[in-house]
Copies of this chain bind each other. A is one copy, B any other.
Amino acid sequence: MTKKVTITDLAKKAGVSVTTVSQILNGKDARFSTKTIEKVKALQKDMGYIPDFNAQNLISKTGKTIGVLIPSLSNPFFAIFSAGIQNEARKEEYVPLVFASNNDRELENQYLLESIRRAADGMIISSPVSDVDYIDSILSQNHIPYILIDQAPSAQEDPIDVANYEGGAKVANYLLENGHTRIVIVAGDDPTVNIRKRLQGFRDAFKDHGVTISDNQIIYTHLSKKGGYDVSNKAVAAKPTAIFAVNDELAIGLYRGIKEAGLRIPDDISVVGYDDIDWAKYVDPKLSTVHQPALEMGQAAAKLIIERIESGNNGSLESGRKISLPIQLIKRGSVKKIN
């Protein structure tokens, strides 16, 4: 096995010092002769020299790496969210290290440590099972800035605001306009703050119209298609005229269960989701939902964390600016007007 070309090899071959090569290749070539510069650059190509990442990082203390913790890649929302992070990171020459924790606390913890070990410069954490205090303590100790997205009950305000309260209220008003007052809500177990706000907005809007939604109208289940499917009987049994699923995956699971129960959407029952994953347009009937800008959220998260990294603001809970992103109610075919 031929060894990798090092800067010393290159320097020798060029008949200059390693400093010269290093400087030139790093763009600090002001003080060198054109001749030397060209010689070095040509040789770099010829020899296929690529600077050693580890050696560089050992000195610079930054590998331009962002650790990313998400619950799962199989939820399209997070797949797109991750894509957004990657897009934005790329512009600044950062690389995301994406870990899916599957809501497994231990795994999540391992991946957190692995990110630190791999010298992540910052972290984006969007995995809901986290113990926020623990994360804050370990990350602060290591002086790694981080942002929490869509996080478990936490003192910290989400730095990326996507108007969940308003979103929930929009769904409520949409349903109200269409005459629905007999409602079931389907939510994921251990709802995150974002989803709680969404729920709160929804319930408050109903209350404003004189309709109280009690806790037993909320069904909790695993936050997935299967979770929605599993509780569809229960949801249907309550004989609502409309169901609000706190995300689209849930809604699509409900679709299946509702149809298997012999009911039609929206004739027998209306369904509204949340997220507007691309699949929402491909189910029958097309799903009414609230558009969340998943891609933009990923981009915003990456932008924010890079800002913090480069500003040296190793901020924990208190720090940093916020980004607000718009949401939008998308009316499609899954809600019917009743009277």
Q: Which residues of A contact B (CB under 8 A)?
A: 1-2, 4, 48, 50-55, 57-58, 63, 72-74, 76, 79-80, 82-83, 86, 90, 95, 97-100, 110, 113-114, 116-119, 141-143, 225, 229, 252-253, 255-256, 259, 278-279, 281-284, 312, 314
For chain A, what secondary structure do more than half of its interface residues adopt (helix, strand, loop), or is it mixed?
helix
Judging by beta carbons under 8 Å apart, are B53 and A119 in contact?
A: yes
Q: A52-B119, A53-B118, A284-B283 are in contact. Are A83 and B73 (CB under 8 A)?
A: yes
Q: A86-B99, A252-B282, A282-B255 are in contact. Are A73 and B79 (CB under 8 A)?
A: yes
Alpha-carbon distance between A55 and B98 when the two chains are bound, in angstroms:
23
Which one of B1, B82, B253, B282 lies within 8 Å of A253 (CB-CB)? Answer: B282
B residues less than 8 Å from A57 (CB atoms): 54
Interface centre among A55, A79, A116 (most CB of B within 10 A): A79
Judging by beta carbons under 8 Å apart, are A278 and B52 in contact?
A: no
Judging by beta carbons under 8 Å apart, are A95 and B83 in contact?
A: no
Given contacts A58-B58, A63-B118, A76-B76, 5 further A-B contacts (CB under 8 A): A53-B118, A54-B54, A54-B119, A55-B58, A283-B284
Judging by beta carbons under 8 Å apart, are A314 and B1 in contact?
A: yes
CB A1 to nearest CB in B, in angstroms, measures: 6
Judging by beta carbons under 8 Å apart, are A74 and B63 in contact?
A: no
